[in-house]
Amino acid sequence: MKVLFWIAIVALVAVVGGAVYFRLAPVPPAMLAADPLTATKPDSPNAWLVRPEGGDAAAPVYALSADELMDRLRDIALAEQRTTGTTTPGDADRPSQGFVARSRLFGFPDVVVATALPLSDDSSTLAIYSRSVHGYSDMGVNRARVERWLDALGPFEAEG
């Protein structure tokens, strides 16, 4: 009986320790600096990439300037629970934003990097790269997140 008690204690400490680690461990800065236009996806199924060409899905065109599109996306992303914004390298022509979204139970971090790409003064498109920091599979969480954000931007899609 004592052995079972100690096994349970060790298991509990491992679970709590893991939860604390994943919630407090820093996200690798290189992941936040990734350019979604040139990023190469890992072989693991824990990432989703949307960009004008060569991603998992093609990015829509929006009837918004690149700055307006990034502002809307930022509002949508930060409205989600457990999602925070981070600074990312970018340039004046391509507004960029990084986000860290954490899972509900253990706080596993996912990194999302988005860049708005101007097509004209009043139209733009996106490149979004969402991926897990830890683990092999994400059970479709990154894809679902990006699709949810794109659905929320749907009213701003350009006609045609």
Residue 91 maps to which CATH number?
3.30.310
pLDDT at position 160 over 70: no
Q: Is residue 80 part of a domain?
A: yes
pLDDT score for 25:
73
Q: At what angle do helices 141-153 and 66-78 cross, to 10 degrees?
A: 130
Lowest-pLDDT range of 35-44, 91-100, 145-154: 91-100
Q: Sign (positive/negative) of CA torsion 18, 20, 21, 25?
A: positive
pLDDT score for 89:
64
Task: Print the domain residue range for 101.
Answer: 27-156
Lookup: tokens for 130: 């969402």
C-alpha R_g of the chain:
18
Chain segment 77-112, per-residue pLDDT in tens:
999 999 988 876 666 677 888 999 998 877 889 999
Q: Which residue has the higher pLDDT, 52 or 84?
A: 52
pLDDT at position 22 over 70: no
Q: Is residue 69 part of a domain?
A: yes
Q: Which residue has the higher pLDDT, 103 or 151?
A: 151
Q: Is residue 149 part of a domain?
A: yes
Q: Is residue 132 part of a domain?
A: yes
Q: Is residue 131 part of a domain?
A: yes
Q: Is residue 82 part of a domain?
A: yes
pLDDT at position 122 over 70: yes
Q: Is residue 1 part of a domain?
A: no
Q: Please state, rounded to an integer, the average pLDDT across all residues of the chain.
A: 89
Please tell me the total count of domains within the chain: 1
Q: Is residue 7 part of a domain?
A: no
pLDDT at position 63 over 90: yes
Lookup: tokens for 119: 């097509």
